[in-house]
Structure 1
Amino acid sequence: MLQQESMLVKAFETRLKTIEADPNLIVLTTMDQPQLNDKDKVSQYIVYTNFKPGLKKQQTAAIFVYTPLENIDHYQNNKVDYQSELLFEFDPWDKKIHISVLETLGAASKLAFYDYQNHGLAQMALQALIKIAKKHEIETIDGMLSSFDGDDWDRVNHLFGKFDFATIAADKTRGVAIYRLQLQGS
């Protein structure tokens, strides 16, 4: 157990140094607590972004969540750079953000080597996005559940509901929905 914990710490530190050394990435938050149970929410993670806060123009950016949990190969290297990604379009002129993709490696992914769903990764990404939106005086965040995501209807509805997103339109039989979060000023 101690060796496994040591490998997780090493992988975490290596990934953090790599992110901090990349001028295109910004660390938003980290936690480095030992993972007591792999069924719980992750307690060792890095939330980071390629969002450029200094640009006062439209941009597409992403928020990534990395954890060393079940992410170390037999050479003690990270298998993937992140397990959850939230891709968004930032529009400071219209004061809105559109969520294009919110994805976590899991059972639905053909590439998944471990099911990272239900460990709080997407929640951390969405929390970070809301903080960015508030800091930049964004008034609305919207996103859609497409038929591609329809199998995860309940999970996605639950996630957006946790953050007080309103469901603007929904058709469970088709697996589509539109969500919106009103922030300030509107």
Structure 2
Amino acid sequence: MASENDQAFARKLAQIEADSKLTILSSMNQTSDDGVKQYVVYTDYREGGQRESTNSIFVYTPYANVDKFGHSIVDFQAQLLFETNKWKNEMHITVLETLGAASRLAVYDYQNLGLAQLAVKAFCNLANKLEIETIDGNISTFDRESFNKVEHILTKYGFEVKAAPSEASGTFVKRR
């Protein structure tokens, strides 16, 4: 018999696959009770001639996200918001930290499960596929510790991060 996580994952995957506005970027489906072994990373970005657009990369996992009835509590646990300007061959991310279980703006690593890293990795792969020359952005967090986590993720994927002195904010850039 399939577990509640397996059923929730299958429902979410079917929902994403049925939506022509969404594209799956990566996924893993290995049942496990420890850590994130089931996830799907997807986007609402569609390459269809638009020159400027705002989109997201979402990360969903049933891990720590299924209620006692086997339904997902939230539709996604991480969201990376980005703007694409194909005229200038640039992408821009704004990293904002938010409060509350259901609010996720940009890179918010849900309970330190590595979901934000999945979003950033998928984003970088998408930018490479689109031959984007420059990715830049801003970071604004509640405290320095949160800023350090975001900075660690971004530098891991080749971004140069510049922090504002003694503040939990800064900018970042990555050039091809």
**Alignment TM-score, normalising by the size of structure 2:** 0.88
Q: Pairwise mapping of residues 20-59 of structure 1 onto structure 2 (< 5 A)?
A: 20-38=17-35, 42-59=36-53
CA distance in 2, matches of 1:13, 1:146: 35
Of 169, 176, 179, the residue aligned with 2:169 is 176
Residues 45/149 of structure 1: CA separation in 2 closer, same or farther (3 Å cut):
farther
**2:4 is matched with which residue?**
7
Residues 131/72 of structure 1: CA separation in 2 closer, same or farther (3 Å cut):
same
Matched, 1:133 2:123: no
Of 71, 77, 85, the residue aligned with 1:83 is 77
Matched, 1:110 2:100: yes
- Report the identity percentage: 41
Q: What is the root-mean-square deviation of aligned Cα atoms in Å?
A: 2.0
Q: Do the aligned partners of 1:59 and 1:91 also contact (CA within 8 Å) in 2?
A: yes
Of 65, 73, 76, the residue aligned with 1:71 is 65
**Alignment TM-score, normalising by the size of structure 1:** 0.83
Shift, 1:17, TM fit: 0.3
CA distance in 1, matches of 2:48, 2:144: 36
- Structure 1 unaligned blocks of 5 or more: none
Q: Do the aligned partners of 1:150 and 1:172 also contact (CA within 8 Å) in 2?
A: no
CA distance in 2, matches of 1:21, 1:63: 17
CA distance in 2, matches of 1:145, 1:21: 34
Q: Do the aligned partners of 1:32 and 1:45 also contact (CA within 8 Å) in 2?
A: yes
Structure 1 residue runs of 4+, over 3 Å off? 147-151
Matched, 1:164 2:161: no
Q: Do the aligned partners of 2:54 and 2:84 also contact (CA within 8 Å) in 1?
A: yes
Shift, 1:127, TM fit: 0.8
